[in-house]
Amino acid sequence: MPMEKGKLIIFSAPSGSGKTTIVRHLLKTFPDQLEFSISATSRPKRGIEECGKDYHYLTVEEFKQKIDNKEFLEWEEVYAGTHYGTLRSEVERIWAKGKHVIFDIDVEGGLNLKKQFAEQALAVFVMPPSIKILEERLNSRSTDTPESIARRVEKAEKELKTADLFDVFILNEVLEDALHKAEKLVSEFLSK
């Protein structure tokens, strides 16, 4: 199954832990080596999101068709009718350019990829300093309803229990420190 072998760098975390900020930083730091894996989703576009840049937007029917055709490396139905997944073609596209793939992906998806790619993947769990701080970060974003935040916090509490299934974790208390640690981990992994 593995094609031209590149590596996979997986950043997973509860929503609001700062994984997206860390991944964006790494893409700027290693532009010649890393490229972002754009997930597919069956949820509608939000605001200024763009197809092929933020997500590959699919209808629920298209998504299910791709599941049936085994076009996903991993996928899940996160909320009823809302699917997210990693298309095999996306990873192949990046590897064909001679780059490694970096993921900003939820915990379950990250563990799925790690299981499939083993030593070829570095799975990093981004740990918020505490659930309380996580909740404050989600509130300060003002993009979510209180119900949505409560649901995310509840999910985060479960996800934190999986941290030891990852290769390594980064505590994101002071962003500068977290970015520095992420750079070091990625640099070491890519030079192996």
Residue 1 lies in a domain: no
pLDDT tens over the chain, length 192 residues: 344 579 999 999 998 899 999 999 999 999 999 999 999 999 999 889 999 998 999 999 999 999 999 999 999 998 788 999 999 999 999 999 999 999 999 899 999 999 999 999 999 999 999 999 999 988 888 778 899 899 889 989 999 999 999 999 999 999 999 999 999 999 999 998
Structural domain count of the chain: 1
Residue 3 lies in a domain: no
Residue 91 lies in a domain: yes
- Asked whether the beta carbons of 37 and 22 are under 8 A apart, the reply is no
Q: Which of 98, 80, 88, 78 is nearest to 38 (CA)?
A: 88
Q: Indicate which CATH number applies to the domain containing 95.
A: 3.40.50.300
Residue 62 lies in a domain: yes
Query: Phi and psi (nearest 5°) for 120?
Result: -75, -10
Note the pLDDT of residue 4.
54
Note the pLDDT of residue 2.
42
Note the pLDDT of residue 26.
98
Residue 83 lies in a domain: yes
Cα 18 to Cα 54: distance, rounded to the nearest angstrom: 17
Q: pTM here?
A: 0.89
Domain span holding position 167: 8-191
Q: Which of 85, 86, 107 is nearest to 152 (CA)?
A: 107
CA distances from 175 to 11, 77, 178 (A): 15, 31, 5
Note the pLDDT of residue 81.
86
Residue 2 lies in a domain: no
